[in-house]
Every structure is written in structure tokens, then in C-alpha cells.
């Protein structure tokens, strides 16, 4: 019966699933790197002395955050060519993930900066520190521990959202499982393996982020003391 688990079939397709896992990890890593940079740009755009730029960037951030990632993927990949912008599935996926999660990371950055006591900023201005020195030596070391949980959550979030990339043909883990299931007319084993792989990778990642957070906070405590 097709409803019975077949170990021989599971081991047969396992190498293909593991190979696709590398694509998934690479997609999540590249997407997160782009999102981290885009988030910083969005943050800077909202902290300029020009109000019109602040408002424009804020509206762009809210618009991207308010629309589903799947719709954004379809728009970039399928609608883009109608405007003369033709991108490969991989490039479309990385740009979309970067923009989508960049908006969320910009809010994480903003919250972390606002978490730094105002007295720190005032003291830097009173001591006539430059803006660069203020951020590099005073503000960012205090803001980074605040930002770690949010940044870590979105890293895991990007990883868990990579199956959406299969909708535009990116050969990640879920795409490979669907292809294997369609070819062999068996979906139990490939989809179960996908779930197990995501669990194996996501849980240690979340634990590692929490450990990093504790280590940074502990280091900050030693510095303050």
C-alpha cells in the first residue's frame, strides 16, 4: 500500500534530498545577507534629516511588510518581464527575500537603537564625539545585544519560508521533494524527510542564537562592571 512507509525508498531518495538541502541553506544564507544590508539601508532612510525621504522610505517599508512574500515572488518573477526586467528564478528569489525580510530587520535595528538610553546620545553630543564614533564605539555595542533575538528569529523565518521559492522553480528542498513524489507517485517519504531536515536544522539554529544572545549579554555585563 502507498500509505506504508518504505525504508528502501526513503534511503534511495535521501541523497537527492540532502543535495537539495544545500540549495536551501544557500538560499537562506544569501537571502539573509541581502536582507541585513537592505534593512540597514531602510533604517538609514528613515533617520535622515529630510522628512520627505523619511516618509517615503517608511511607506515603502510598510507596503512591503503588508503584502505576502508569495505575491512578491510572483510579481518579481512573472510580472517583471512585462516591464523589461527578466530575472532568473534564483535572482528573483534572492531579491524578493532580501527586500521582504529587509523591512523586518530594519524595524529590529530601529528598535535596538531606540533601546539605547537617550542619556548615552546626549553624553556623546556633550563630549563632541563624531557621529561615526558615537555609533561605532558607544551606540552599536549596546544596540547589538538588543537586536540579536529579532535578527535570529528572522534568520530562522527565512529558512522556513524557502519552500515558497519552489513556486517559481527554485530547486530547493521542497521543490526536490515534490519532484521526487511526482516521479515515483509517492509523497509520504519525501515530504516526511523534508519535515525532519527542517526540524534538524531549525532547532539547533534557534538554540545557537539563544546561546549567542546569552554570551553577548554576559560579555556586556562584564564590560559594564
Percent of residues, the chain, with pLDDT higher than 90: 52
Q: With b meaning 16 or more CB within 10 Å and e meaning fewer, what string describes 92-117?
A: bbbbbbbbbbbbbbbbbbbebbeebe
| Residue range 147-158, pLDDT digits in tens | 888 999 999 999
Query: Which DSSP symbol is given to 80?
Result: G
* Cα 3 off chain centre by: 36
pLDDT score for 225:
47
Q: Which residue has the higher pLDDT, 12 or 131?
A: 12
- The pLDDT tens digits for 29-85 are 999 999 999 999 999 898 888 899 999 999 999 999 999 999 999 999 999 999 999
Q: 149, 74, 159, 80: which is closest to 111 by C-alpha?
A: 149
* pLDDT single digits (tens) 169-215: 888 889 999 999 998 888 999 999 999 999 998 888 888 888 888 88
Q: What pLDDT score was predicted for residue 222?
A: 52
Grade residue 1 by pLDDT with cuts at 50, 70 and 90: very low
134, 121 Cβ separation under 8 angstroms:
yes
pLDDT at 91 over 90: yes
Q: Which domains does the chain carry?
A: 7-224 (1.10.3720.10)
Amino acid at each position: 500500500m502507498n500509505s506504508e512507509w518504505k525504508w528502501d525508498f526513503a534511503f534511495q531518495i535521501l541523497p537527492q534530498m540532502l543535495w537539495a538541502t544545500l540549495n536551501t541553506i544557500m538560499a537562506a544564507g544569501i537571502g539573509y545577507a541581502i536582507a541585513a544590508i537592505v534593512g540597514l539601508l531602510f533604517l538609514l532612510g528613515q533617520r535622515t534629516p529630510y522628512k520627505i525621504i523619511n516618509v517615503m522610505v517608511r511607506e515603502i517599508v510598510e507596503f512591503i511588510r503588508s503584502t505576502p512574500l508569495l505575491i512578491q515572488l510572483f510579481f518579481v518573477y512573472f510580472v517583471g518581464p512585462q516591464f523589461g526586467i527578466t530575472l532568473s528564478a534564483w535572482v528573483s528569489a534572492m531579491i524578493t527575500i532580501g527586500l521582504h525580510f529587509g523591512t523586518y530587520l530594519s524595524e529590529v535595528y530601529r528598535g535596538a537603537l531606540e533601546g539605547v538610553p537617550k542619556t548615552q546620545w546626549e553624553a556623546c553630543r556633550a563630549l563632541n564625539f563624531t557621529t561615526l564614533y558615537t555609533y561605532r564605539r558607544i551606540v552599536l555595542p549596546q544596540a547589538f545585544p538588543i537586536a540579536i533575538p529579532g535578527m535570529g528569529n528572522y534568520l530562522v523565518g527565512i529558512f522556513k519560508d524557502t519552500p515558497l521559492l519552489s513556486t517559481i522553480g527554485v530547486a530547493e528542498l521542497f521543490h526536490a521533494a515534490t519532484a521526487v513524489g511526482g516521479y515515483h507517485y509517492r509523497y509520504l517519504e519525501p515530504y516526511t524527510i523534508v519535515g525532519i531536515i527542517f526540524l534538524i536544522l531549525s532547532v539547533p539554529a534557534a538554540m545557537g542564537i539563544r546561546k549567542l544572545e546569552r554570551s553577548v549579554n554576559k560579555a556586556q555585563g562584564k564590560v559594564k562592571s
